[in-house]
């Protein structure tokens, strides 16, 4: 016969099961070949949106919105005026609006039109500035959490030209070597517009690695080589290490370009 632990209490039996089915705990995340449809726990999303200073005046864009969790926290907790997610995967495009509809039944203070889940490729939005009624020009806060290219920054720069203080938020797995982060709370970074180029390779590496002092040579500052090794180590654990040589090349081009132009504005 199975022995019950001395601490066992029959009256708590129901609590052994995962609740699921509540508004907050409504999904089981699938880590299959497409990658997770929700990337961060809510406490990290709050950190990220706090770093981006998300507020009621913002129009927030999530590029690749999966099951819409980031758009959800931006709207339900940070009160952004509009939350827009772009997603191209058909299955995810079905799930995210179901979640949205459940939330809207509960949170009747949120206008349905302020939560827009757009089916489509955000690369189209970046190239053309518009997608299904949404314009990149209107976004005041963007979260980007996929592979980066300088073209993404050029598209945002074109859309945001003449404005000040808009924010691009990203994280350690998806870095932009062309520009300096304005601030970081690891693993997240925010760059305020107009974007600035790094003055030196070292300046950018210190900011994205969060390391200044050498751990190899006591009492000295870490040099470029040590910080690239640091990034490569971390990418081996949590991201794609083949990004590192690409970052190196892009960083060097950006620093050189800044020197040629005599301006750090990207």
Ligand X SMILES: C[S@@+](CC[C@H](N)C(=O)[O-])C[C@H]1O[C@@H](n2cnc3c(N)ncnc32)[C@H](O)[C@@H]1O
Residues lying near ligand X in the complex (CB under 6 A)? 35-40, 62, 64-66, 69-70, 86-89, 92, 121-123, 145-146
Q: How far, in Å, CA of 80 to CA of 56, rounded?
A: 4
Nearer of residues 84 and 180 to ligand X, judged by Cβ: 84
Nearer of residues 121 and 230 to ligand X, judged by Cβ: 121
- Give the residue among 262, 237, 128 at the shortest CA–CA distance from 187: 237
Report helix angle 224-238 to 201-209, nearest 10. 40
Nearer of residues 32 and 219 to ligand X, judged by Cβ: 32
Nearer of residues 37 and 258 to ligand X, judged by Cβ: 37
- Least separation in angstroms between CB 97 and ligand X: 14
- Least separation in angstroms between CB 112 and ligand X: 21
- Least separation in angstroms between CB 234 and ligand X: 18
- Least separation in angstroms between CB 190 and ligand X: 15
Nearer of residues 80 and 222 to ligand X, judged by Cβ: 80
- Least separation in angstroms between CB 115 and ligand X: 15
């Amino acid at each position: 016969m199975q022995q019950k632990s001395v601490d066992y209490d029959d009256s708590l039996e129901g609590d052994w099961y995962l609740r699921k089915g509540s508004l907050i705990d409504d999904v089981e995340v699938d880590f299959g070949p497409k990658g997770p449809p929700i990337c961060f726990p809510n406490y990290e999303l709050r950190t990220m949106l706090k770093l981006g200073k998300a507020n009621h005046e913002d129009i927030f864009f999530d590029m690749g919105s999966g099951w819409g969790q980031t758009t959800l926290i931006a709207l339900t907790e940070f009160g952004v005026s509009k939350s827009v997610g772009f997603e191209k995967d058909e299955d995810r495009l079905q799930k995210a609006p179901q979640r949205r509809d459940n939330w809207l039944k509960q949170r009747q203070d949120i206008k349905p039109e302020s939560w827009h889940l757009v089916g489509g490729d955000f690369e189209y939005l970046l190239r053309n500035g518009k997608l299904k009624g949404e314009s990149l020009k209107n976004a005041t806060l963007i979260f980007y959490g996929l592979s980066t290219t300088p073209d993404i920054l050029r598209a945002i720069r074109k859309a945001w030209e003449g404005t000040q203080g808009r924010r691009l938020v990203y994280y350690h797995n998806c870095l932009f070597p062309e520009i300096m982060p304005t601030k970081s709370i690891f693993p997240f970074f925010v760059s305020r517009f107009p974007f600035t180029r790094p003055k030196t390779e070292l300046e950018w590496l210190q900011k994205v690695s969060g390391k200044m002092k050498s751990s190899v040579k006591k009492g000295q500052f870490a040099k470029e080589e040590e910080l690239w090794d640091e990034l490569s180590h971390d990418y081996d654990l949590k991201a794609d290490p083949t990004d590192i040589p690409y970052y190196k090349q892009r960083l060097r081009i950006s620093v050189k370009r800044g020197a040629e132009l005599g301006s750090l504005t990207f």
